Amino acid sequence: MFSFSSLLTLVIALPALVAGELSGKVGPTTSHATKAAKKTCDITKYGAVADGKTDISAALNSAFTACKTGGVVVIPTGNYAMSKWVKLAGGNNWALQLDGLITRTGTDGGNMIMIEHSNDFELFSSTGKGAIQGNGYQFHIQGSISGPRLLRVWDVTNFSVHDITLVDSPSFHFSVDTCTNGEVYNMAIRGGNQGGLDGIDVWSNNIWIHDVMVTNKDECVTVKSPAKNILVENVYCNWSGGCGMGSFGTGTAVSDITYRNIYTWSSNQMFMLKSNGGDGSISNVTLENFIGHGNAYSLTLDQAWTSMKTIAGNGVQLSNFHISNWTGTEVKGTARGPIKVACAAKAPCHDVNISDFAMWTEQGGSQFYSCENAYGSGFCLKSGTNYAAYPATTQWVSKAPAGYAAPTMAADLKTAFGTTLSIAVPTMPASFFPGVLPITKLAGSK
């Protein structure tokens, strides 16, 4: 039987395995030190003032123009305001060093900072204290999520985003859109307790996301379509919607996805795949080393997700899912059991394998596992290769599985952040998964 001690033995060795999870190298091809040696463009030399009220967009655009073909744009320590958004496009061999705090003061939609059509790019904080404060509560208190996203990278190749914090976005926090060979790590994202405030959304190729903490009430780190060769590990969903994939519809094309070392506290789910109709395929997915406590759902693959409108099609074909080493507890196993695999009747799932799965209920003394139109091995999954549709089957248990106990994290939040008050910039946690240090040292740490 799997145990937490064996999990630690496994994850300590993980960095050496990364190359096998991705299709090639990720990250910028030139270090920011090399870029800085070529040219440095400090926004305060282009008119920016760290007074917390003067818009820095013109200065940032000017600094980018001066350094976009090789160099580092620097936003130094200090408090800055942004009332107009910036689109930094067409850069090559450049970096953006965010050491100050940028606070949103404008009200437009769109993206506060958008990096597009760029190669060999890095967004980072040298101190680990760089942040963007969206003050999204000013929208949310009015029931609106129509304000801007904080950060979006689009059509960017050979890049990294790391050691920065994104706080209280009016809308999504960070989107990785149609990018290649990217690394996102050492980040804290803290949002309000409301849907539509996604942490990190990714639809790209060959992306490594690791050592990230997300607080919100929607997606923690989620993969959308199209996506291939995505590795997500060492993620701390700290009072969040939880990790997942979807929502999926027509023309879904997702393959070679790994989620590993995911710790989820007081969230909607540990992992949820969502679709309702549509077509296309999702294949070669690994979900391993998950720890959860206080979550409504645990593992949910739901292809009749009622929160989305039914889309024409026979359903997205799921195949070759490997799910292993899950421990911890769910809130109430009699209401929402720890395993739900509900696949499309006209496209039954196959080769879904669940092993070393030890979850138990926090309320009551029983729980259930539910499977529908799903083939593979483990729990309520059906064996065989005819892949015919079948109605939901439920397997009840009234005894806790051996080895379900799992540790908690010191930074687990006691309550959610609401939608009516400003959210403070959080402290970066020392670890994003129990017993595992960040793969890359946190900026500014001793």
The set of catalytic residues is 218, 293
Half-sphere exposure of 72 (CA within 13 A, CB side): 22
Phi, psi of 171, deg, nearest 5? -135, -140
Can you give the three-state secondary structure of the chain, one letter per residue? CCCHHHHHHHHHCHHHHHHHHCCCCCCCCCCHHHHHHHCEEEHHHHCCCCCCCCECHHHHHHHHHHHCCCEEEEECCCEEEECCCEEEECCEEEEEEECCEEEECCCCCCEEEEEEEEEEEEEECCCCCCEEECCCHHHHCCCCCCCCEEEEEEEEEEEEEECCEEECCCCCCEEEEEEEEEEEEEEEEECCCCCCCCCEEEEEEEEEEEEEEEECCCEEEEECCCEEEEEEEEEEEECCCEEEEEEECCCEEEEEEEEEEEEEECCCEEEEEEEEECCEEEEEEEEEEEEEEEECEEEEEECECCCCCCECCCCCEEEEEEEEEEEEEEEECCCCCCEEEECECCECEEEEEEEEEEEEEEECCCEEEEEECEEEECCCCECCCCCCCCCCEEEEECCCCCCCCCCCCCCCCCCCCCCCCCCCCCCCCCCCECCECCCCCCCCCC
Q: Which residues contact 130 (CB under 8 A, 6 or more apart)?
A: 75, 97, 98, 99, 100, 101, 124, 163, 164, 165
